[in-house]
Amino acid sequence: MFDLEKILKDTLEDKRIKKDIYKNAQELTEVLPGKYLNKANTVYKAEYIYQLPLAYGSSQLTRFNIPEIILSWAGIEKAVPLNKLLFYDTETTGLSGGVGTWAFLTGIGRFADDQFIVSQYFMLDPGSEDEYLSELAKEFTDDIIPVSFNGRSYDSNLLNSRCIMNELKPFLTNQPDIDLLYLARRLWRKELGRCNLGYLEEQLLGIIRDPQDDLPSEDIPELYFEYLETGDAGLLDRAFKHNVSDIISMPVLFALIAEMINSQKPEGIDESALARLYRDLGYEIEAEECFKKGLTGNHADICRAQLSYLYKRQNRLSEAIALWEEAAESEIYARIELAKHAEHKSKDFSAALEWTQQAMKLAYELEFVDGRQIFELQKRLNRIRHKIERNIDN
């Protein structure tokens, strides 16, 4: 049985040596100031130091306090110093993550006092992948918290699988992490629809990347293979800049989220989504306050419904009923909840019948009739009528 991994590496192993054929090729050190990390000069590290605060679009890169709710959401039980966050992002030879996919460039970002330091690890030759991964693993110590944007689903799995293929110990396992993509989806999916990093940069951070200094992620693999063929590091100039931008955008986005959560009057965030995050993690006092703030916002109907369910679960029925009565003019759920309360709590079957009939009427008036809901309402209607008839007989 042939070894596909070995064939791929052997095929590309000496591509960089052909650089002397291309007289105009730029050396890596001309494009990316840094240093080689191994004797063969096939693993390279560059470093950039940014003084804080750093203006970035309409926002800025600065130090911030990590909200407890985010740590709880990530399964982290104790406070985390900002300098223990490790932001990372990879550039790869494909988005599928299959056997032939290499993470040839990995960016790392850290806070250090009044600075933010970005390091880039670059693999000049796929034949040196084991050395490249070994150097990269030194960054991922046991005391750091990895922070990524979709790293939980993609970057971490790819890096771990590459370690296994090179008979190295994976370095992104069994530790809590913070994936900003999942957090952004919880907070902005209803508001923005799309939550890819580029769109969040435009909508939230005021950043529109310059095509002269950046390029789409899907164009990067082809440039890396062309670099392996020509040895011209200038081809990857925009890929290096793209990676740095991704690294910087993550802490800026994280700081924005932290600022919004820590603010007494968060703006630009879906209060209902934030409140549900608090509620799902057991922060019911914070959830209630957040739902209340949202009663005057763009998602007032959602906040009213969710707040009523919170009150119901806490057995604060008078407060829940007040919200249902307020919403009953236009919301089916409110009429159904009032019917349930009348039937099961107050035993007012006439009121239960009236509210169920009102819910049924509203259900038929909707643009899209929910057949299952109609079926359940009809069952409720029949049951209540039977109870009324039984009471009359008695």
pLDDT band at 295 (very low <50, low <70, confident <90, very high): very high
Q: Which fold has domain 270-326?
A: 1.25.40
Q: What are the start-end ranges of the E strands in 241-381?
A: none
Q: Which pLDDT belongs to residue 267?
A: 62
CA distance 247 to 56: 12
Mean pLDDT of the chain: 90
Q: Which pLDDT belongs to residue 17?
A: 46
Q: Per residue in 84-110, pLDDT tens?
A: 999 999 999 987 666 779 999 999 999
Classify each residue of 317-342 as buried b or exposed e, where b means 16 or more C-beta atoms within 10 Å of its C-beta.
Answer: eeebbebbeebbeebbbbbbbbbbbb
Q: Which pLDDT belongs to residue 189?
A: 86
CA distance 34 to 298: 49
Q: Per residue in 158-197, pLDDT tens?
A: 999 999 999 999 999 988 999 999 999 988 888 888 899 9
- Quick one: which of 104, 120, 382, 49 has its CA closest to 221? 104
Mean pLDDT of 1-15: 54
- Tell me what percent of the residues of the chain surpass a pLDDT of 70: 91
pLDDT band at 151 (very low <50, low <70, confident <90, very high): very high
We find that the CATH architecture of domain 4-262 is 2-Layer Sandwich (3.30)
pLDDT band at 391 (very low <50, low <70, confident <90, very high): confident
pLDDT band at 266 (very low <50, low <70, confident <90, very high): low
Q: Which pLDDT belongs to residue 124?
A: 96
Crossing angle of helices 332-344 and 349-365, rounded to 10° = 160
Q: Where in the chain is the domain with CATH 1.25.40?
A: 270-326
Q: Which pLDDT belongs to residue 1?
A: 43
Q: Where in the chain is the domain with CATH 3.30.420.10?
A: 4-262
